[in-house]
């Protein structure tokens, strides 16, 4: 998406978008009679002010990194995976299912449950990948549809298959849990878990696979120009499917973090968690590179966690952050106009 822009613009566009998003948020607060400085102060202290909040923020950042990597990976191959939400859900339920179904030592059980999440997500993304590769069906619509199928299927599984007509499953046993007593004590008993290490490791894997391997080169090449890649002897169809599958695996891992770490169980979702859709914003804001995704995920984690405390401390409704995020997406998407204005500004300065 940013291919046509210079390096300087690539850095400035996300920064300006975030500033504009926060500015619009401040205006909304002003208009509805709140003090924006108090509001944002409450947001900051609610996400970074105490050990407990820091733990919760890091816990929130974890799935955002995975969701952001998932969307970004597909973007780099020229695909738009808007189905992270659904892939995350199936990953969540699959990991909890494996967590509950087996009784094994932790060293086998935990990796197996995590892998189950990745596999489920990959499988869910395989369908749109296959349809795109073989039948040229646009992946955006298929992934959206797969989201809702995932939602209904997972709810069914949780209620009738994994549990016995309940709204939640049992807790996964200690042998399949990512919970971290060490972090919990360190952060005044927040729900922070070991997932953050996996998220950072995933970001490194993302970087290595995409930038340092032949496969990654092929994937990016297909993203730039399918015809040229095909002419160069690459298998475009295989790369499209591979890209979706890897993207889905990242998303499924994000779900496993929620299932095995944050919550420790699965439950009936009335609607989507929103993490998958936020992942689109994370990827765009992070410019689809590993470090960018981590930074953007951190920003979103801070915003989301702080938003929960805002109403208590300053009276500002939590949803202010949704508005801010929407505006940020809006401006990142409209990067053309920002780049254009930046250029005009630069010319004016000369």
Partner 1 sequence: MDVLSAFEILVKSMLFASAPLIFTAIGGVFSERSGVVNIGLEGLMVIGAFAAVVFNITFASALGGWTPWIALLAAMVIGGLFSLLHAVASISFRADQVVSGVAINFLALGLGVYLIKDWYGAGQTPQIPVPLYYERIPLLYDIPVIGPIFFNNYITSYLAIFIAIGAWFVLFKTPFGLRLRSVGEHPMAADTMGINVYRMRYLAVFISGIFGGLGGGVYAQTITQDFSAGTITGQGFIALAAVIFGKWHPLGAMGAAMFFGLAQSLAIIGSSFPLLADVPNWILLSAPYILTILALAGFIGRADAPKSIGKPYIKGSR
Residues that bind partner 1 (CB under 8 A): 1, 28, 32, 80, 82, 127, 131, 135, 137-138, 140-142, 144-149, 151-153, 155-156, 160, 270-271, 277, 280-281, 284, 311, 317-323, 325-327, 329-330, 332-337
Q: Choose between 72 and 142: whose C-beta lies nearer to partner 1.
A: 142
CA distances, 324 to each of 34, 296, 327, 329 (Å)? 15, 14, 5, 9
Q: Choose between 1 and 112: whose C-beta lies nearer to partner 1.
A: 1
Q: Choose between 134 and 238: whose C-beta lies nearer to partner 1.
A: 134
Q: How far is the CB of 199 from partner 1 (least distance, A)?
A: 23
Tokens of 278: 């936020």
Helix (H, G, I), strand (E, B) or coil at 20: helix
Helix (H, G, I), strand (E, B) or coil at 82: coil
Q: How far is the CB of 88 from partner 1 (least distance, A)?
A: 16
Q: Choose between 113 and 127: whose C-beta lies nearer to partner 1.
A: 127
Q: How far is the CB of 75 from partner 1 (least distance, A)?
A: 10
Nearest to 89 by CA among 72, 104, 67, 58: 67
Helix (H), strand (E), coil (C) string for 23-41? HHHHHHHHHCCCCHHHHHH
Q: Choose between 80 and 126: whose C-beta lies nearer to partner 1.
A: 80
User: At CA 56, angle to CA 192 and CA 29, rounded to 5?
Assistant: 170
Q: Choose between 262 and 335: whose C-beta lies nearer to partner 1.
A: 335
Helix (H), strand (E), coil (C) string for 121-169? HHHHHHHHHHHHHHHCCCHHHHHHHHHHHHHHHHHHHHHHHHCCCCCEC
Q: Choose between 113 and 303: whose C-beta lies nearer to partner 1.
A: 303
Percent helix, strand, coil in the chain, to 5, is: 80, 0, 20
Q: Residue 38 contacts by C-beta under 8 Å, 6 or more apart in sequence?
A: 313, 314
Cα dihedral 340, 343, 349, 350 sign: negative
Q: How far is the CB of 312 from partner 1 (least distance, A)?
A: 13
Q: How far is the CB of 62 from partner 1 (least distance, A)?
A: 21
Q: Choose between 192 and 316: whose C-beta lies nearer to partner 1.
A: 316
Nearest to 191 by CA among 37, 306, 6, 55: 55
Q: How far is the CB of 191 from partner 1 (least distance, A)?
A: 23
Nearest to 89 by CA among 285, 299, 263, 332: 263
CB half-sphere exposure, 214, CA atoms < 13 A: 2
Q: How far is the CB of 41 from partner 1 (least distance, A)?
A: 19
Q: Choose between 157 and 289: whose C-beta lies nearer to partner 1.
A: 157
**For residues 286 and 293, what is the distance between their CA atoms, to the nearest angstrom?**
4
**For residues 199 and 227, what is the distance between their CA atoms, to the nearest angstrom?**
34
Q: How far is the CB of 220 from partner 1 (least distance, A)?
A: 18
Q: How far is the CB of 154 from partner 1 (least distance, A)?
A: 9
């Amino acid at each position: 998406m940013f291919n046509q822009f210079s390096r300087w613009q690539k850095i400035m566009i996300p920064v300006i978008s975030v500033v504009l998003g926060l500015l619009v948020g401040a205006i909304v607060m002003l208009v509805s009679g709140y003090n924006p400085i108090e509001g944002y102060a409450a947001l900051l202290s609610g996400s970074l002010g105490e050990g407990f909040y820091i733990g919760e923020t890091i816990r929130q950042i974890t799935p955002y990194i995975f969701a952001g990597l998932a969307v970004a990976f597909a973007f780099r191959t020229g695909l738009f995976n808007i189905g992270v939400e659904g892939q995350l859900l199936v990953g969540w339920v699959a990991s909890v299912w494996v967590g509950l179904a087996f009784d094994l030592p932790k060293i086998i059980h935990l990796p197996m449950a995590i892998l189950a999440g990745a596999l489920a997500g990959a499988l869910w993304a395989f369908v749109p990948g296959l349809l795109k590769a073989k039948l040229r069906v646009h992946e955006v619509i298929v992934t959206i549809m797969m989201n809702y199928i995932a939602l209904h299927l997972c709810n069914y599984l949780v209620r009738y298959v994994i549990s016995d007509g309940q709204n939640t499953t049992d807790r996964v046993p200690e042998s399949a849990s990512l919970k971290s007593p060490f972090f919990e004590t360190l952060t005044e008993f927040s729900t922070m878990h070991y997932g953050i290490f996996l998220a950072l490791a995933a970001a490194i894997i993302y970087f290595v696979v995409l930038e340092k391997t032949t496969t990654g080169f092929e994937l990016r090449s297909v993203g730039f120009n399918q015809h040229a890649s095909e002419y160069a002897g690459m298998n475009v169809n295989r790369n499209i499917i591979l890209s979706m599958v890897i993207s889905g695996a990242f998303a499924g891992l994000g779900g496993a973090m929620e299932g095995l770490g944050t919550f420790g169980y699965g439950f009936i979702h009335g609607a989507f968690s929103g993490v998958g859709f936020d992942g689109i914003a994370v990827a765009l804001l992070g410019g689809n590179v590993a470090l960018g995704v981590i930074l953007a995920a951190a920003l979103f984690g801070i915003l989301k966690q702080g938003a929960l405390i805002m109403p208590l401390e300053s009276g500002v409704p939590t949803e202010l952050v949704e508005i801010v995020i929407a505006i940020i997406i809006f401006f990142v998407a409209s990067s053309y106009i920002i780049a254009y204005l930046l250029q005009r500004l630069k010319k004016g300065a000369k």
